[in-house]
Amino acid sequence: MRQALMVMLAISVFACQQPTKTEDAPVASSKILENPELSSRVESMLSYPQAAGMPRCLEPDGEVRQVGTRDWTSGFFPGELWMVYELSGDERFKNAAEFWTQKMEPEQFDDHTHDTGFKINCSYGNALEQTGNEAYKEVMIQTAKTLSGRFSLEVGCTRSWDFNKDVWQYPVIIDNMMNLELLFKATQLSGDSTYYHIAYAHAMTTLENHFREDNSSYHVLDYDPETGEVLGKYTHQGYADESSWARGQAWGLYGFTMAYRFTKEPKFLLQAAKIHDYIFGQLPEDDLIPAWDYNDPDLDKPKDASAAAITASALYELAGYTNDGHMIDKANQIVNTLQSNYLHEQAGDKDVFLLDHSTGNKPKNDEIDVPINYADYYFLEALVRQKETK
């Protein structure tokens, strides 16, 4: 099967298309979210200064870290606005979402990162689903063409990072499963099966190589770009090479659930179920918000609300494929805990964050126990999916 996939990919031809600018939508008024505490927090997104960079996280001194659109997290804030619009129907959030989404337009041509999938799918992907605007479709397709250029027939995966070339020859991280969604969607939008085959091959290669016997995942695999052989298995953001980085497990759960959505490949569904079993085998029943790494021996190790939010969102979808009501119960428990105990007390005109207690990169002593935008994004997505299950 793998050889056939590689043949199909080898004969595919990629072309570039220029996107079309979008138009601003008219202003209207409607309702806000049902949870009053959450409503007051999402309202702050509308007053975020338009001249500012994308809000990524809150620094320990209370300042908002602003980033440009090249940052891998830049698409989450526009995506959050689209999520609030979907939850509330409030046109003000649609207008704001359109403004911040159009700032992401140049990223469709960024061929130096695998995270164009995150950046464009979370912004333009949500915009397309909410509006049907054909201009958004063209950006999605062009991004898929750009991302496809990072795929290796020999390895069977898209390359993750370009840095640390003295350390890794061809790194592939578990997070990269998330970028496959844009490729799958691009095939649906364009009719070009190339993107589907790339995404399928990447998921299958990850399934074969990234997981331990207990179905926990390594963070980084290094491949020989000439032969596709696995050269080493490491971490970059976890406690140790052999430890279980919590957000990495959540990326895997979400990624294989999503891959099953588009492919109906039983192996992907089975792997998602195995990751689910691993994650909840590590957590006490009364506290489903994980520490940043399941194997950190420090008794005071920080939590990672982002891992919990990603997991909850994935569980709502996975439950629909497995008919396992306990998965919905766990997702509801996570969402309820985040709303009850993890809402962030905002301060300042740029503080638009919703959740506290996420951990970005503890080994680098960066973004530890702070609000981070991707925690908010997947939390809001979980609320959307929760609403759909009722």
Positions marked catalytic:
115, 175
How many Cβ atoms sit within 10 Å of the Cβ of residue 347? 9
In angstroms, what is the C-alpha Rg of the chain? 20
Q: Cβ distance 372 to 306 under 8 Å?
A: yes
Return the beta strands (E) in 153-259 as ranges.
157-158, 171-173, 220-223, 230-234
Would you put residue 271 in left (φ > 0), alpha (ψ -120 to 50) or beta? Answer: alpha
Q: Are 287 and 278 in contact (CB under 8 A)?
A: no
User: What is the number of other CB atoms lying within 10 angstroms of the CB of residue 333?
Assistant: 18
The DSSP code sequence of 113-139 is -TTHHHHHIIIIIHHHHHH--HHHHHH
Q: Which residues contact 272 (CB under 8 A, 6 or more apart)?
A: 253, 256, 257, 260, 314, 318
Q: How far is CA 182 from CA 45, 124, 263, 280, 331, in A?
A: 26, 10, 14, 28, 24
**Helix (H), strand (E) counts: the chain:** 14, 9
Task: Give the Cα separation of 189 and 187 in Å (integer).
Answer: 5
Between CA 387 and CA 316 the distance in angstroms is 10
Distance, in Å, from the CA atom of 365 to the CA atom of 93, rounded to the nearest integer, reads 34
Name the helix (H) or strand (E) containing 80: helix 76-88
- Tell me the CB-side half-sphere exposure of residue 198, using CA atoms within 13 A: 32
